[in-house]
Every structure is written in structure tokens, then in C-alpha cells.
Chains A and B, each alone.
Chain A
Amino acid sequence: MSTKKRILDEKEMERILKRLANEVIEKNKGCEGLYIVGIHTRGVPLAKRITHYIEKFEDEKIHVGSLDITLYRDDLAHIEHQPVIQDSILNFDIEGKHILLIDDVLNTGRTARAALNAILDYGRPAFIQLLVIIDRGNRELPIQADFVGKHLPTSKDESVQVHLKEVDGADEVFIIKD
């Protein structure tokens, strides 16, 4: 029997996003040269929201883009269904810039690895940071996030679902156990 437990609701999510926006500003002492890139699928609306908060707090226009990492995945031969590749939109030159990668969940680190490779094929940024809403902790690669919304240590038979208004109709986070 599987159980589904809600970890975060809409209010909590909003609070976390605002906090993360502030942390980004604080750690980088502002947002100069900051380029935000969301990883498909849920990283993209998250990136837009974080960008929105940072722009509001700092009153500055920030570049935001999106990245599909399908072509960089190391498990292509094992996935059952081919995903439809989304367009990666990076309408800016990333050379020497500060890139903030945004995704919903960090677990094994493989998605982040693929995203790093993908972004590096577009040029040589000054540095790259990673922001996630949930960090599950089961790392398979030596990768860590610079900004974490919530640490949620889970076992392998559990999964975490992040729902967003833009994609799923509501802002919620669930933990599901088989």
C-alpha cells in the first residue's frame, strides 16, 4: 500500500521561495551579472518566480532562461518513454556570467550533472550556483546545492513530488511511500 503525505502547502512554498530569493541576493551581494536558468520541466516556472521576487526586492531586471537536459542524460538507453525535448532558451551570452541553475528536487545529482554539462556547452560562465526546493540527499555524484528550500532525507523506496500551479494546478509537495 502506498501512502501520500503532504509536506508543504501553497503558503509554505511561497515563504520558501521568498527566503531563497533573499538568500541569493544576500550571498551574492546583490544580483549584478546574475543569469537565472530553470531546468525543464518544473525548474522553469520556479526560475520565473524566483526571478520575479529578486526583481521585486532589488528593483532590477534579470535575465531568465530555460534548459532541457534530455540530450545530456546518462540514462537515455534505460528510459521507457522518450521525453519530448523542450526548447532550451538562453537568449543571452553566458560567457563570464554568473549562472544560477534552478530545479525542483535534488537527489542523485545526475540531473544537475547533466545540466552543468549542457550549460558549459553554451560557453564558459564565471561561476554556476544551484538552487533547489527539496534536497532528498541520496547523492550518487559529488554535487551539492548552494541554496536549498527544505532538506527532506528520504529512502529509495520513497519519492517526492513537487506540484506547481503552472504545471499541476496547485503548489504542494508530497512524499510518497510504496
Chain B
Amino acid sequence: MKHTLNLTGRNLFDLDDYSVEEIEKIFETAKVMKKINSREYKKIPTLRGKTVATLFFEDSTRTRISFELAVKRLSADVVSFTTAGSAMKKGEGIQDTVYTLNAMGIDLYVVRHSCPGVPQLVNKYSNKPVLNAGDGRHSHPTQALLDMFSIWEKKGSLKGLKITIVGDILHSRVVRSNLIGMKKMGAEVVVCGPRTLMPPKIEEVYGVQCEYDLKVAIKDADVVMGLRMQLERQNEGLFPGLGEYTSRYGLSNKMLEFAKDDILVMHPGPMNRGVEILPEVADSEHSIIIEQVTNGVAVRMALLFLILGGKPDKEVA
């Protein structure tokens, strides 16, 4: 019998604990989910009776909606906890929040927090699987999975692809998870941005190439991903202004000429049109930015199904 990779009961803190085969299984499952999402009737009864809690200690409407839609499409119940107007404002700690929710019978937690490591903390207190929906600038594995799935769908594989990620690498949770995942799946990754927005030892930590000139970084690239540039960084003295930034690192048609003809353009959203990406590129045939959003729901459905369906493996891996 063909060995099936069991993901039941697993946490998703980041992609380092997932193997290539497991990531491929998530992709295969996401493909099926994506098809369901394109039907007239988009709901399946798979996770009936399960309850998922989305704990968003930091606001992120897009990610939360994507997760909640995924939960609902699988017929599970979802309760959402956001810090606005909740007990957290009254100084209640994470521990108490999790104990309280756990007492109500939550089967899985989706956690977003501005501090790295909080998903692990929620798992420790709840003893239930946790999906990391972004912890500070540390990681955002479901975003990375949907990014990689979007590439995998178009290119068939990530093996040997040259992927360039450009922008504020230092503050990006999306980048870290993508670097782990893309390297694992065999891509060659180049990160690019101003030196003040580059984390130390990034080449050493992730085995990627680091460039400060986008023309060099994007040369012959199969995929380019732009990152959201936040104006606050200007006040922190990390770069002089958006004008200079766009001229050096903005994704324009002119810049794309250095890349391969069939380059895919991606962005984790929300975009600052005219800053890190020009409209001519965002709306071009190369852009799969909207499809990334569609794939987000499918990938999250796949994860929820794989983690909540079936019995956990008894053997210790």
C-alpha cells in the first residue's frame, strides 16, 4: 500500500518542520479544494462538528477572513477572537484567554500575534494544534504555502526556479517562511532591498543570495515577489523616502525586462500601487496577485482538512 503522509494533529508554526513530501501533499490537497471553491455550491461537510478559534491579537482582516472562509467551507464552526474590545485590553494574558477558550472545546487555533513565538505558547497552553497566521516578523507559513502553491500551479514545480524577493526584507514575516519553504522545494532565491532593511546574516541563515541592486537580483528570474513598503520605516531612519525607493526597487515594466519573458509577478498584499509595484506591472499578464488571494482560501482549507481529519499517527517520527 502506498504510504500516506499523516498530518493529523500537527502544528504549523513554520515550514521548517514540514518535509518536501508533506508540502507537496498540501499542494495536491489545495488543488482539490480550489476546484471545490470554483463550484456553484462551495461547501463540503468534511469537518462538521469541529470548532476552530481564530485568535487575532494583531489585526489582519484579510488573513482572518481567508481563514474563516476556509473553516466555513469545510463546515466546521469558527469563533473569532480579536483584541479589539476583548478581554486582552483589560490585561488578561494569553494563558487565561487560551484556558477559557479551551474549556469551550476548541479543536484548533489559528493565531496571529505581533510577537514571535506566541503560536508555540498557545499550543503549550491549549495542547491543541495551532496554525500560525503570522507571528511578528518571524513567520507566516500559510502565506508562504499559498505563494509557493501559486508558483507550483503555474510552473509545475519550484525546482531550479530563480525567485527574487524585493523590498523590506527585515520586517517581513512572509519572507522568512518563504525562504525556508522555497529553498526546501529546490528554488534558487535572491533577496533584494536597501541594506538598512536587510536582516543580518541572511545568506547564512537561509542559504539565499543577497543583492542590493534590483537589476542584478531580477536577472533571468522566473518569479519576482514585491513586498509592502511601509512609510513608518522612513521615520525610523531606515530609508530616505518612497520616491528614491520606487526608483531603485519598484517593480516596473523596465525592471521586468531583465527577467525571463514568462516571469510571474507576486505580492502578498496589500499593495502600495506606485510604490513597490507600478500599476503597469500589478495589472499585467505576468501578475498572479489576485490568484494568490484565491489560492489562500484553498491552501488554508487543505491545511485544516489535513490537520483536523483522521487520527494522529501513533508512531513517533
* Partner among A68, A77, A79 whose Cβ is within 8 Å of the Cβ of B32: A68
Residue of A whose beta carbon sits closest to that of B7:
A82
Q: Interface digits, B1-15 against A, CB 8 Å rule (1 contact, 0 not)?
A: 010111110000000
| B311 touching A122, Cβ below 8 Å | no
Question: What residues of chain B lie closer than 8 Å to A117, measured between beta carbons?
Answer: 45
| B44 touching A71, Cβ below 8 Å | yes
Question: What residues of chain A lie closer than 8 Å to B46, measured between beta carbons?
Answer: 71-72, 76
Cα A122 to Cα B41 in complex, Å, equals: 7
| A79 touching B29, Cβ below 8 Å | no
In the complex, what's the smallest C-beta–C-beta distance from B108 to chain A, in angstroms?
A: 13
A58-111 residues with Cβ-Cβ distance < 8 A to B are: 68, 71-72, 76-88
* Partner among A68, A82, A87, A123 whose Cβ is within 8 Å of the Cβ of B6: A82
The prevalent SS among residues of B at the interface is: loop
Known: A76-B309, A77-B309. A82 touches B44 (CB 8 A): no
In the complex, what's the smallest C-beta–C-beta distance from A67 to chain B, in angstroms?
A: 11
In the complex, what's the smallest C-beta–C-beta distance from B317 to chain A, in angstroms?
A: 14
In the complex, what's the smallest C-beta–C-beta distance from A70 to chain B, in angstroms?
A: 8
In the complex, what's the smallest C-beta–C-beta distance from A87 to chain B, in angstroms?
A: 6
Residue of A whose beta carbon sits closest to that of B46:
A71
* CB of B77 within 8 Å of the partner chain: no
* CB of B39 within 8 Å of the partner chain: yes
Question: What residues of chain B lie closer than 8 Å to A88, measured between beta carbons?
Answer: 32, 35
Question: What residues of chain B lie closer than 8 Å to A87, measured between beta carbons?
Answer: 31-32, 35
Question: What residues of chain B lie closer than 8 Å to A121, measured between beta carbons?
Answer: 39, 41, 43-44
| A80 touching B310, Cβ below 8 Å | yes
Give the top 9 A-B pairs by smallest Cβ distance, nearest first. Answer: A82-B310, A81-B4, A76-B309, A71-B46, A121-B41, A71-B44, A85-B32, A79-B310, A80-B311
- 7 further A-B contacts with Cβ under 8 Å, apart from A77-B311, A87-B31, are A71-B45, A81-B6, A82-B306, A87-B35, A121-B43, A122-B39, A122-B40
